[in-house]
């Protein structure tokens, strides 16, 4: 499944157990450079939460005891997903986290999905490596607009990808990635045809990274 292919499995991760002290956790965080790491139970199967470097330092600055177990500053205990969690739930669950914990079908700790990995996957969906241009087309968001825009483009070429933004607002921006091999003449024909259909082509970006 798609999600499983994006997850870093636990055998490749730095984790600590719930009996680890705050000082030991801080040493691990300093040596690895991570801002936080997962806390597991002693069997290393059950996810307990995360420990953040900044929370340990704040605790230390306030005169706190660093010999306390990491569970004293445990965070994100309920922030986890499963391997079969839908993409949209994953996207909104991870929004404010550096990573989110992933559990297997037995609710055991499987690994983590990082924020950067998810963003990379989304950027790849634009097909910027194989596309030629990205057109930002503004529409009123009326029923049938997307079909009309794709039909207008399909007169000249297939689509590499399509992403719609600003859903729920008065107008919408739809980003169409055109496949490789589109020359300027065909590009201009596509733009002209879209504008004759009363769609505004707000921006055209050449994908120079291809």
Asked if residue 98 has pLDDT above 70, the reply is yes
Answer yes or no: are the C-beta atoms of 136 and 202 closer than 8 Å. Answer: yes
Q: What is the CATH number of domain 2-121?
A: 3.10.580.10
Listed in order, the ranges of the chain carrying CATH 3.30.70.260 are: 127-205
Q: What is the mean pLDDT of residues 134-142?
A: 90
pLDDT of residue 210: 42
**Sequence ranges of the chain with CATH classification 3.10.580.10:** 2-121
The proportion of the chain whose per-residue pLDDT surpasses 90, expressed as a percent, equals: 68
pLDDT of residue 44: 95
Is the model's pLDDT at 144 over the cut of 90? yes
- Residue 2 has a pLDDT of 54
Q: DSSP letter at 45?
A: -
Evaluate the CA torsion angle 70, 73, 77, 79 in order and state its sign. negative
Give the whole-angstrom CA distance, residue 199 versus residue 152: 10
Residue-wise pLDDT tens digits, 32-59: 999 999 999 999 999 999 999 999 999 9
The values of phi and psi at residue 21, to 5°, are -80, 165
Q: What is the DSSP string of 84-129?
A: T--HHHHHHHSTTSSEEEEE-TTS-EEEEEEHHHHHHHHHHTTTTT
Higher-pLDDT residue of 117 and 67 is 67
Judge whether residue 124 has pLDDT over 90: no
The residue with greater pLDDT, 206 or 128, is 206
Q: Report how far residue 89's alpha carbon sits from residue 66's, in angstroms, rounded to the nearest whole number.
A: 36
Indicate the pLDDT class of residue 96, thresholds 50, 70 and 90.
Answer: confident
Domain 127-205 indexed as CATH 3.30.70.260 = yes
How many angstroms separate the CA atoms of 62 and 82, rounded?
37
Q: What is the model's pLDDT at position 89?
A: 84
């Amino acid at each position: 499944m798609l999600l499983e292919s994006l997850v870093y499995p636990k055998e490749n991760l730095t984790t600590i157990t719930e009996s680890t002290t705050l000082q030991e956790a801080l040493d691990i965080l300093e040596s690895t450079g991570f801002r936080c790491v997962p806390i597991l139970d002693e069997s290393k199967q059950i996810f307990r939460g995360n420990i953040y470097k900044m929370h340990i330092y704040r605790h230390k600055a306030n005169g706190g005891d660093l010999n306390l177990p990491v569970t004293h500053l445990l965070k994100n205990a309920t922030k986890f997903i499963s391997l079969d969690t839908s993409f949209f739930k994953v996207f909104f669950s991870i929004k404010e986290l550096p990573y989110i914990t992933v559990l297997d079908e037995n609710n055991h700790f499987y690994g983590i999905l990082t924020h950067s990995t998810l963003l990379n996957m989304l950027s790849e969906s634009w097909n910027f490596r194989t596309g030629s241009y990205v057109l930002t087309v503004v529409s009123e968001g009326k029923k049938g607009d997307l079909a009309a825009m794709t039909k207008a483009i399909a007169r000249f070429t297939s689509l590499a990808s399509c992403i719609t933004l600003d859903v729920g607002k008065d107008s919408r921006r739809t980003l169409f990635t055109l496949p490789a091999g589109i020359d300027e003449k065909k590009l201009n024909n596509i733009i002209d045809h879209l504008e004759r259909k009363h769609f505004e082509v707000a921006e055209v970006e050449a994908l120079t990274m291809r």
